[in-house]
Amino acid sequence: MSRYWSPVVGALSPYVPGEQPKLLDLVKLNTNENPYGPSPKAIEAIRAATDDTLRLYPDPGSDRLREAIAAQAGHGITAAHVFVGNGSDEVLAHVFVALLKHEGRKLLFPDISYSFYPVYCGLFGIEHDTVPLTDDFRVEPQDYLPAGGQAAGGIIFPNPNAPTGRAMPLADVERIVAGNPQCVVVIDEAYVDFGAESAVSLVARHDNLLVVQTLSKSRSLAGLRVGHAIGHPALIEGLERVKDSFNSYPIDRLASAGAIAALEDQAYFEQTCRAIVATRDRLTADLQALGFEVLPSAANFVFARHPAHDGAALAAALRERAIIVRHFRRARIDQFLRITVGTDDECARLITGLKAIFSS
């Protein structure tokens, strides 16, 4: 506390990111990073861009990067449909200000979802309501259709959802988008490449749909900080106005070079996603064999609880064995562990650790 703080600062409840321990040789399965490195071509491109041109500002419009994203997206998407930012967290921050803040109309998102959403509402003074997931932890499309009353000020949810990993079929996503023409529906697709259907194919048909994606997870570039949004050019223009009122150069020269090269290396991308999905299926079966209930995951993590072992206690016991998973002290999910899909070896070490805990 300081008397010099602006009044809003004391009232914030900031997002708490998963731990980034300084120790090495941990089995780090707590922040959904990709266990495989980025494309070697991305590393090479960053090296090649590391030269005297760093004295110059980058392109404020990130034109080449937006073109690479559009080319990769297909479905008639052009650079005018693409907005980029310093990680999708920054993209989301601009989305909340530019598109989701409407006096007297509340933003809707699930009660169990990405915990940054309520943080942005607090920072930007956005009224919101949370909509409970079903008992089996699904986002129920019907719950997001206006029932005659006041239209929502906006709707946002991840697909697949975090931290549950459950995906919504594309037809249900479209029902929500089509049923809410008076507000923007934002689909946060941070994990879509691990097994869900992207809503990018719907952008041409719906001018109130915005799809947010990131290179942090499936492209293994969490350290580079590049995310983007895809939607109707009028939505993108709104985002640009906010961005240019905040920071004109969110994508630095090295990030741009690395991101473009990563997007162009489709073979590496597909190979590493396939490996993670195969490991996820084995990890799920191994956890089930130990008695865990595992929610069906379309992401690079699984959400699991054990009927006989407390979630917080299990996370602490794993930590003593240098294995870090994520546990949320929150109603409805405090018995669950969110476990990132690592390499086969890391997942085997997790299972060995759990067996040791259960037999001690």
Looking only at the bridges linking them, the beta strands covering 107-110 and 293-294 are unpaired
Judged by CB under 6 A, which stretch of 47-55, 82-90, 168-176, 260-268 contacts ligand PLP?
A: 82-90
Out of 27, 68, 89, 239, point to the residue binding ligand PLP (CB under 6 A): 89
The contact pattern for ligand PLP, residues 36-75, with x = CB under 6 A and - = no contact, is: ----------------------------------------
Choosing from 38, 153, 165, 227, the residue that interacts with ligand PLP (CB under 6 A) is 227
**Residue 159 found at the interface with ligand PLP (CB under 6 A):** no
Q: Which of 88, 159, 180, 340 binds ligand PLP (CB under 6 A)?
A: 88
| Residue 229 makes contact with ligand PLP by CB under 6 A | no
Number of residues that bind ligand PLP (CB under 6 A): 12
Is the four-CA dihedral 98, 104, 105, 110 of positive or negative sign? positive
Q: Give yes or no for residue 216 binding ligand PLP (CB under 6 A).
A: yes
Cβ atoms of 146 and 180 within 8 Å: the answer is yes
d(CA 197, CA 192): 7
Would the CA dihedral through 149, 106, 146, 236 be positive or negative?
positive
Decide if residue 87 touches ligand PLP (CB under 6 A).
yes
Distance CA 251, CA 259 (A): 10
Where helices occur in the chain by DSSP H, the ranges are: 7-11, 40-49, 63-73, 87-99, 116-124, 170-178, 233-243, 253-264, 266-289, 311-320, 344-358
The answer to whether residue 114 forms part of the interface with ligand PLP (CB under 6 A) is yes
- Using CB under 6 A as the binding rule, the residues of this chain from 261 to 290 that contact ligand PLP are none
Minimal distance, residue 62 CB to ligand PLP, in Å: 15
Task: Return all residues near 223 (Cβ < 8 A) that are at least 6 apart.
Answer: none
Asked if residues 31 and 326 have their Cβ atoms less than 8 Å apart, the reply is yes
- Report the SS3 class of residue 324: strand
Q: Partners of 337 in the beta sheet?
A: 304
**Does residue 110 touch ligand PLP according to CB under 6 A?**
no
Largest CA distance in the chain: 60
Residue 216 or residue 272: which is nearer to ligand PLP going by CB?
216
Binding range to ligand PLP, per CB under 6 A, among 52-60, 87-95, 238-246, 285-293: 87-95
Our CB check for ligand PLP shows the closer of 30 and 88 to be 88
DSSP one-letter code for 275: H
Question: Which window, 14-22, 81-89, 96-104, 170-178, contacts ligand PLP (CB under 6 A)?
Answer: 81-89
198 binds ligand PLP (CB under 6 A): no
Which residues are at the interface with ligand PLP (CB under 6 A)? 87-89, 114, 158, 162, 188, 190, 214, 216, 222, 227
